Each structure stands twice: as structure tokens, then as C-alpha cells.
Structure 1
Amino acid sequence: MTLSFFDQFMSPSYLGIPLMAVAIALPWTLYPMPTNRWLSNRLLTLQAWFINRFVNQLLLPVNVGGHKWALILASLMLFLITMNLLGLLPYTFTPTTQLSLNLGLAVPLWLATVIIGMRNQPTHALGHLLPEGTPTLLIPILIIIETISLFIRPLALGVRLTANLTAGHLLIQLIATATMVLLPLMPTVASLTAILLFLLTLLEVAVAMIQAYVFVLLLSLYLQENV
């Protein structure tokens, strides 16, 4: 029973073909394409309003040089939200519960922000490794600590997203299993666990959106330091 709880996090395959790429590529087909007409429907208007509000809020503290990242950050936000929410549906697979995928998104984007900082303003970028006014004896130790913290950032990005989604899916499956087991034995207790399951599902919908926003927000903060 314990092993079956973790089967949902295994990459699905059909006839020996991994379906991870299909799970990543198909969510893009759910979004309506913009048209060239002056007036669009309500769905397109709502989608454009959401993207504009998100980009404005995200790039507000970032300098003008970092506004070139608006397209990739908005696309990443929609990508993560869609995969996180679709993973809550029955008989689906959540690619963002795989640490390899999350690190594959976090490491290149974090490295790009570091390279931009080293190229455009190397003195300012290296200045983050040593706080101002540090005593001379603590300079080597602080440089080592700040360097380690710099390289831990992409790992923290990937692990945070993976751990939150994995924990939520496990809780949902545990409570759902308890509800099905208790239903013929104690219907009253089963109804209470069903209510708890419904509330937890609502919480997971919020977590799916919040974790996607936090992932992109932290990337924008890393970009702000290096632009």
C-alpha cells in the first residue's frame, strides 16, 4: 500500500514510450489563440488581462533592462500553472512533481541571470558575495557562505516546487483512501473525511497557482539583482 501511493509520481509510459513529453506539450493546446479582429471574445479578453496584470506586477521592481524577460517569465508562469492544475485531475500525471523537470527549468534560467550580471556589471554582481562593512577576519568565511548560497538557489527553486506538489498529492491520496475504506464501516466519519478531502483539494488548487507564481517571482528577484 505504501509503494502504491508513490506510483502516481512515476513517469507514465505506453508501449514503452514515455508520456512525459506529451504531458508537457499538450497543455499549450488548451489556450485560445489571439485573433486579428478588433473585438475578441470574453475568454481572450480575460486571458490577455491576466497576462498583462501579471507581467506588470512581476516586472514592477525590475529595471528596464530586465523587461526583455517579460515574454519568457509570462510563458513560464502559464506553463507551470497549467501543468500544476491539470495534475489535480483524475487519471492525469503532474510533470512538475519530477525534480529533474523542475531543475531543468530552474538551473538554466538562474544561470542566465548570473551570466547577465557578470557580463553587464561584474563589480556589482561580485559585490553580493561580500556585504559592506564586513570585518577582515570574516571576509573569507562570508565569501564561501555567500557563494554556497548562490549555487543553492536553483536547487531550492526546484525542490520547493517538487516538495509542495508531492506533499499535496500524497495527502489527497491518503485522505481519499481513508474515505473509501471508512465508507462501509463508519459512514459518518467517512463523510467528515470527504469534506476534509474537498477542502484539501481547494487548498491544492491554491497551492498549484501560488507555487508557480513563487517560482517565477524568485527568478525575477534574481534577475533584479543582476540587471
Structure 2
Amino acid sequence: MNLSFFDQFASPTLLGVPLIVFSLILPTFLLAPQTKLWVGNRMQSLQLWFSHNFTKQLMLPLNKPGHKWSLILVSLMLLLMSVNLLGLLPYTFTPTTQLSMNLGLATPLWLATVLLGMRNQPTNSLGHMLPEGTPALLIPALIVIETISLFIRPLALGVRLTANLTAGHLLIQLISTAVLVLLPMMPTVAIITAMVLFLLTLLEIAVAVIQAYVFVLLLSLYLQENV
């Protein structure tokens, strides 16, 4: 029974084809078709409005050299948000519940920000390891602590995204199982539990969007320190 709760984190297949492949095709239907009209439809206007405002807010605290990262960060935000939301559909699989995928996204981007800072402004980048005015006795310990905190950043990014999505999916699985068990015995309690499940699903939709935003926002903060 305990193992069945974690079966949702295995990619379901149909005739040997992973169903996540069909799920990833779904966002293509949300893209507005190319037309020769000057003014697009409402869906295209909404997408442009969201992309413009998100990019503007994300690039606001960054210096001008950091604006080159706008396409990467916005694309990463849309990718994570799409994958997180698609994982809430029935018979689908959420790739971002796997720590290996999240670390595969976080580590190269974090390393790119660190190498960028070491190349463009090595003094300021190394200066973060030792704040000004530190007592001489604390210098060795502080350098070790700051170095560990620097290298633990990609792990924190990956674990945060994995833990939040995994916890939400497990909670939905537990409550939905309770609804099925209680329905023949206590219908009233089952209906109340189903209402809680609906509210939890809405919360999980919000978590899927917020966690994608937090992932990209923290990357932009790491970039801000190195540009």
C-alpha cells in the first residue's frame, strides 16, 4: 500500500510510449497561430502581457549586462510552470518531482553565474566570501562557511522544488484515497473530504506556479551578485 502512493512518480506508459510525451504536446495548442493580422487574439495578447511584465520585474534589479539572461530565465520559468501544471493532470508524470532533473537545471545555471562573476569581476565575487570588518579570528571559519553556502546553492534550488511538489502530490494522493475508502461507509465525510481535496488541488496549482517563479527568482539573485 505504501509503495502504491509513490507509483504516481513513475512515468505511466501506453503501448510502450510514456504518456508525458502526449502531455507535453498540450501546451502547443495554447500557442496562437500565425496570422497576417496586425492585432492578435486575446490569448496571444495575454501571453505577451504576462511575458512582458514578468521579464520587466525580473530584470529590474539587474545591471545592463545581466539583461542578456532575460531569454534564458523567462524560458526556464515557462518550462517549469508548464511541466509543474501538466503533472496535475490525470495519468501524467511530473518530471520536476525528480531531484536529478532539478539539479540538472540548477547546477549548470548556477555555475554559469559563478564563472561569469569570476571572469568579469573576480574581486567582488571573492569579496562575498569575507564581509568587510570581520574580526581576524573569524576569518578562517567565515571563509569556510561562505564557501559551503556557495556550493550548496544548487542543491537548495533542486531540493526546494522537488520537496514542495512531491509533498503536494503525496497529500493529494492520500486524500483522494481516503475519499474512495470513505465513500461507501460515510458518504457525508467523503463529500467533505472531496471538498478539501478540491481546495488542495487549487493550492497545488498555485504552488506549481510559485515554485517555478521562486526557482527563477533565486537564479536571478545569484546572477545579480556576479554582474
Assess same fold via TM > 0.5.
Answer: yes
Q: Structure 2 unaligned runs (5+)?
A: none
SS of the residue 1:45 aligns to: helix
Distance (whole Å) between structure 2 residues aligned to residue 190 and residue 84 of structure 1: 28
Deviation, structure 1 residue 32: 1.1
Distance (whole Å) between structure 1 residues aligned to residue 150 and residue 20 of structure 2: 31
Corresponding residue of 2:25? 26
Deviation, structure 1 residue 12: 4.0
State whether residues 23 and 95 of structure 1, in contact with CA within 8 Å, keep that contact through their aligned partners in structure 2.
Answer: no
Mapping 1:115-154, distance limit 5 Å: 115-154=115-154
Quickly say closer, same or farther: Cα 1:23–1:150, change in 2 above 3 A.
farther
Deviation, structure 1 residue 126: 0.4
Q: Structure 1 unaligned runs (5+)?
A: none
1:39-60 CA-to-partner distances (Å, cap 9, x unmatched) read: 1111101000000000001111
Q: In the alignment, residue 84 of structure 1 is paired with which amino acid? A: N
Q: In the alignment, residue 165 of structure 1 is paired with which amino acid? A: L
Q: In the alignment, residue 86 of structure 1 is paired with which amino acid? A: L
1:66-122 CA-to-partner distances (Å, cap 9, x unmatched) read: 000010111101101111111111111111101111011000000000010000000
* Percent of aligned positions that are identical: 73
State whether residues 24 and 83 of structure 1, in contact with CA within 8 Å, keep that contact through their aligned partners in structure 2.
Answer: no
Distance (whole Å) between structure 1 residues aligned to residue 157 and residue 45 of structure 2: 32
State whether residues 20 and 92 of structure 2, in contact with CA within 8 Å, keep that contact through their aligned partners in structure 1.
Answer: no
TM (norm. structure 1) is 0.94
Distance (whole Å) between structure 2 residues aligned to residue 103 and residue 11 of structure 1: 19
State whether residues 182 and 190 of structure 1, in contact with CA within 8 Å, keep that contact through their aligned partners in structure 2.
Answer: yes
Q: In the alignment, residue 120 of structure 1 is paired with which amino acid? A: N
SS of the residue 2:93 aligns to: coil
Corresponding residue of 1:204? 204
1:185-205 CA-to-partner distances (Å, cap 9, x unmatched) read: 001111110111011001000
State whether residues 157 and 215 of structure 2, in contact with CA within 8 Å, keep that contact through their aligned partners in structure 1.
Answer: yes
Quickly say closer, same or farther: Cα 1:70–1:48, change in 2 above 3 A.
same
SS of the residue 1:6 aligns to: helix
Deviation, structure 1 residue 30: 3.8
Q: In the alignment, residue 196 of structure 2 is paired with which amino acid? A: L
Q: In the alignment, residue 2 of structure 1 is paired with which amino acid? A: N
SS of the residue 2:108 aligns to: helix
Is 1:42 paired with 2:42?
yes
State whether residues 27 and 82 of structure 1, in contact with CA within 8 Å, keep that contact through their aligned partners in structure 2.
Answer: no
Quickly say closer, same or farther: Cα 1:127–1:118, change in 2 above 3 A.
same
Q: In the alignment, residue 133 of structure 1 is paired with which amino acid? A: G
Distance (whole Å) between structure 1 residues aligned to residue 129 and residue 22 of structure 2: 40
State whether residues 20 and 95 of structure 1, in contact with CA within 8 Å, keep that contact through their aligned partners in structure 2.
Answer: no
Corresponding residue of 1:52? 52
Distance (whole Å) between structure 2 residues aligned to residue 59 and residue 47 of structure 1: 18
Corresponding residue of 2:91? 91
Q: In the alignment, residue 90 of structure 1 is paired with which amino acid? A: P
Quickly say closer, same or farther: Cα 1:183–1:28, change in 2 above 3 A.
closer
Distance (whole Å) between structure 2 residues aligned to residue 23 and residue 142 of structure 1: 50
Distance (whole Å) between structure 2 residues aligned to residue 8 and residue 140 of structure 1: 47
Number of matched pairs: 226
Q: In the alignment, residue 181 of structure 1 is paired with which amino acid? A: V
Distance (whole Å) between structure 2 residues aligned to residue 183 and residue 54 of structure 1: 44
Is 1:165 paired with 2:165?
yes
